[in-house]
């Protein structure tokens, strides 16, 4: 079904906004993709590119509050909360604490998995049909443990992933680990292998996707921040931007961690907090990992790419700033030194930082906004934006087009 003359403005040109633009265009809509800065310069650009259904459980889990309190006293911890007077943050933490219960964790896991599985399926078709060269690798991932007690604790999580969610997982003994992944140092406790995971290079994906969208007539507007909306007869009719008003029939906010600044336009106090993540990118080592590695003891991810290697992760709740804390960078380096045969290859690029958009229950918010029936939100994907993007874009397009959605949108509705 085509929609001649029906125009959609998508605010936010990261991977979520790009996916929304893609699926709307396939349904015949005319799309403008706008961003307050250069396109693809935010969290979608420098993350580790893991497509990981295995990571379906939310951050809000039983026992995580104690871990967070411990992290307050450890400046080099992978999870860090900078103490400060910040009422929205403390309201968010209260809601987060309420979700740290097993039943809520189980529920959030099922809701996340629906998007993760659909996205994993959609990626295979997207990359093929649109020739998106992004160094795609579907060889799975290894959750690696340096300490035996951490490995033993994770056994319960692995069992839950298998029995409750049907995620395939295989235990790898310390003896078998060296043969399976020669890039790991000897002496590690063991690992769990998740064959359903994949990884890609995010900047290559977005560059190729952008080229594809341009060739299909999608218009890109950089340095065009949405500052407000113009309403007429109960509907949004135009966006006020730093480059003037842009009229459209539908509006989609895929604005990630910046979404709370649009609460008035959305008509809802957005429960999103920014959590800074870090990454280091370097040339591909001679002894490169064969699969993506999650160094669980350190909270660090290692992504092997054909054109390089990336270390990343860290959750730093320190507000909206782009300061590079050298302790976080040191954590990435020390994790690599502890676990990899060839930890760092020069030249290592300057540290990259970006904000993840974190919600109290670990689930994104996808759907219509209270302000107007033609205004939609797709944000709050926590650490899984790259993993959930295709299913999110498809869902937004199906909602706008009044189709029966492939994934039940109920768990992601805004007012909950």
pLDDT in tens, 182-211: 999 999 999 999 999 999 999 999 999 999
- The whole-angstrom separation of Cα 122 and Cα 137 is 15
Q: Please answer whether residues 99 and 62 qualify as being in contact, where contact means their C-beta atoms are separated by less than 8 angstroms.
A: no
DSSP H helices, 170-233, are 174-180, 202-215
Mean pLDDT of 11-22: 96
**Can you read off the two tokens belonging to residue 303?**
């992504």
Expressed in percent and rounded to 5, the helix, strand and coil fractions of the chain are 35, 25, 40
**Which residues are registered as beta bridge partners of 125?**
none
By DSSP bridging, strand 141-145 and strand 292-295 are parallel
Q: Is the pLDDT of residue 71 over 60?
A: no
Mean pLDDT of 228-250: 95
- The whole-angstrom separation of Cα 412 and Cα 363 is 7
Tell me: the pLDDT tens digits for 132-190? 999 999 999 999 999 999 999 999 999 999 999 999 999 999 999 999 999 999 999 99
Q: Is the pLDDT of residue 125 over 80?
A: yes
Which run of H or E residues covers position 361? none
Mean pLDDT of 341-360: 93
Mean pLDDT of 375-384: 97
Count the Cβ atoms, other than its own, within 10 Å of residue 391: 25
**What pLDDT does residue 362 have?**
96
Domains in the chain, ordered, with CATH?
7-412 (3.50.50.60)
- The whole-angstrom separation of Cα 274 and Cα 381 is 11
Mean pLDDT of 241-259: 95
**Which residues are registered as beta bridge partners of 33?**
10, 220
Tell me: the pLDDT tens digits for 81-112? 777 788 899 999 999 999 999 999 999 999 99
DSSP sequence for 293-336: EEETTTTEEEEEETTEEEEEEEEEE--S-----HHHHHHHHHHH
**How sure is the predictor about 74, in pLDDT bands with cuts at 50, 70 and 90?**
low
């Amino acid at each position: 079904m085509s929609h001649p003359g029906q125009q959609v403005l998508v605010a936010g040109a990261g991977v979520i906004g790009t996916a929304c633009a893609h699926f709307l265009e396939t349904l015949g809509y005319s799309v403008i993709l706008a961003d307050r800065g250069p396109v693809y310069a935010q969290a979608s650009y420098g993350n580790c590119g893991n497509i990981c259904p295995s990571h379906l459980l939310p951050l809000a889990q039983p026992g995580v509050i104690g871990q967070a309190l411990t992290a307050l006293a450890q400046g080099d911890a992978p999870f860090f909360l900078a103490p400060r007077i910040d009422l929205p943050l403390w309201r968010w933490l209260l809601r987060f604490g309420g979700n740290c219960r097993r039943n809520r964790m189980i529920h959030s896991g099922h809701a996340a998995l629906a998007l993760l599985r659909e996205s994993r399926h959609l990626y295979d078709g997207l990359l093929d049909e649109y020739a998106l060269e992004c160094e795609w690798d579907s060889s799975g991932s290894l959750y690696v443990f340096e300490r035996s007690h951490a490995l033993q604790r994770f056994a319960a999580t692995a069992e839950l992933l298998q029995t409750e969610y049907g995620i395939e997982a295989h235990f790898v003994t310390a003896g078998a680990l060296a043969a399976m992944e020669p890039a790991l140092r000897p002496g590690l406790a063991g690992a769990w292998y998740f064959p359903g995971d994949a990884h890609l290079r995010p900047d290559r994906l977005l560059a190729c996707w952008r080229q594809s969208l341009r060739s299909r007539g999608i218009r890109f507007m950089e340095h065009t921040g949405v500052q407000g909306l113009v309403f007429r007869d109960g509907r949004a009719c135009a966006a006020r931007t730093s480059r003037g008003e842009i009229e459209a029939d539908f509006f989609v906010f895929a604005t990630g961690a910046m979404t709370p600044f649009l609460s008035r336009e959305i008509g809802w106090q957005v429960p999103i907090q920014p959590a800074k993540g870090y990454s280091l990118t370097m040339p591909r080592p001679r002894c490169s990992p064969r699969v993506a590695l999650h160094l669980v003891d350190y909270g660090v991810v290692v992504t092997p790419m054909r054109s390089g290697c990336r270390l990343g992760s860290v959750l730093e709740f320190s507000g909206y700033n782009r300061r590079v804390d050298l302790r976080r960078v040191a954590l990435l380096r020390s994790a690599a030194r502890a676990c990899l045969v060839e930890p760092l290859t020069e030249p290592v690029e300057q540290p990259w930082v970006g904000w993840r958009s974190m919600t109290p229950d670990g689930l994104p918010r996808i759907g219509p906004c209270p302000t107007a029936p033609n205004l939609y939100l797709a944000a709050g994907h926590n650490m899984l934006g790259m993993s959930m993007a295709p299913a999110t874009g498809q869902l937004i397009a199906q909602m706008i087009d009044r189709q029966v959605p492939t994934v039940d949108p109920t768990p992601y509705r805004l007012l909950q």
